[in-house]
Amino acid sequence: MLLALCVGQMRGTVDDATVERIVRELKNMPLYIKDVLGLADKIKNLSKIYTYARNFLYLGRGYNYPTALEGALKLKEISYIHAEGYPAAEMKHGPIALVDSEMPTVVIAPTDSLYDKIISNVRQVKARGGTVVAIITKGNDAMKDIADHCLEVPDVPECLTPLVVSVPLQLLAYYIAINKDRNVDQPRNLAKSVTVE
C-alpha cells in the first residue's frame, strides 16, 4: 500500500492530501480492528444459523473481490464446507444459477464507489430466495433493509476496506468450524508451509 502511494505520488497521480489521509487511517487501523473484534459475539451467534450449510457463495467487487476469495478459502480450510469466492460483477455468469435458500451468500458491501452495484447483486440473490450476510460500513441503513444479517465495520478509505472486512470473514469461518467440532489449529491436509519440488 505504502509503495503504491509513493509511486503514485512520484507520478503525480496521487496528491499529498490523499497520501496523508491514507497514512493517518493506516495508523488508526489497530483501533478499527479492535472495533471489529467487538463483533465476535454477534458472529458467534450468526455462525450457529449457518453451521450446517453445505455450500457458501462469497461476493466482492473491486478491492474486495480478493477479500471474498480469501473469506471463502478460510471457510473451506477450517470448516470443510464448500465455498466459492466470486467477483460480484460476474455473478450472472454462473453462480446465480446455484443461489437458493440452502446456499448462504456472504457479500462484502462497504459504502464505496461500487456500492450501488453490490446492492443490485444482493437484490438478485434475495429475488432467488437466497440468504445474505452482508459486511457493511457502519451507518449503512439501506443494506439493513435488504440483507438477512449485517455486520458493520468502520468507515475507512476504499483501498483499506479489505483490512477491516477480512476480520469478520475470519471470525465467521472460525466459529462455524468450532460449531462443527473441527480442529482449527490443525486443519486436515494443510501444511504450515509449502515446498515445491
Exposure pattern of 114-152 as b/e (b: 16+ CB <10 Å)?
A: bbeebbebbebbbeeebbbbbbbbeebeebeebbbbbbb
- Write down the pLDDT at residue 109: 94
16 occurs within a structural domain:
no
| Statement: residue 191 has pLDDT above 80 | no
Is 27 a member of any domain? no
pTM for the structure as a whole: 0.91
Domain count, the chain: 1
User: What CATH number does residue 150 fall under?
Assistant: 3.40.50.10490
Residue with cell 515445491: 196
Q: Flag whether 29 is in a domain.
A: no
The reported pLDDT for the residue numbered 195 is 61
Residue 11 dihedral angles phi and psi, to the nearest 5° = -80, -10
Q: Kindly state the percentage of the chain with pLDDT values over 90.
A: 70
Q: Would residue 15 count as lying in a domain? A: no
Domain housing 161: 39-183
- Tell me whether residue 112 is in a domain: yes
Q: Is 189 within a domain?
A: no
Please state, for a pLDDT cut of 70, what percent of the chain lies above it.
96
**Residue 126 covered by a domain:** yes
Assess contact for 133 and 46: CB atoms under 8 A.
yes
Alpha-helical regions (H) of the chain: 2-11, 16-27, 29-37, 40-50, 64-79, 115-127, 141-144, 161-179
Q: Is the pLDDT of residue 144 over 80?
A: yes
Within a domain: 3: no
Q: Determine the pLDDT at residue 163.
A: 97
Q: What is the pLDDT of residue 50?
A: 96
End-to-end CA distance of the chain: 32
**Res 93: pLDDT:** 83
Give the pLDDT confidence score for residue 19 in this predicted structure: 84
- So what's the pLDDT on residue 8? 84
Q: Are 52 and 82 in contact (CB under 8 A)?
A: no
The pLDDT tens digits of the residues spanning 91-137 come to 888 888 889 999 999 999 998 888 889 999 999 999 999 999 999 99
Tens digit of pLDDT for each residue in 24-52?
999 999 999 999 999 999 999 999 999 99
Predicted confidence (pLDDT) at residue 138 exceeds the cutoff of 70: yes
Is the predicted pLDDT of residue 194 greater than 60, yes or no?
Answer: no
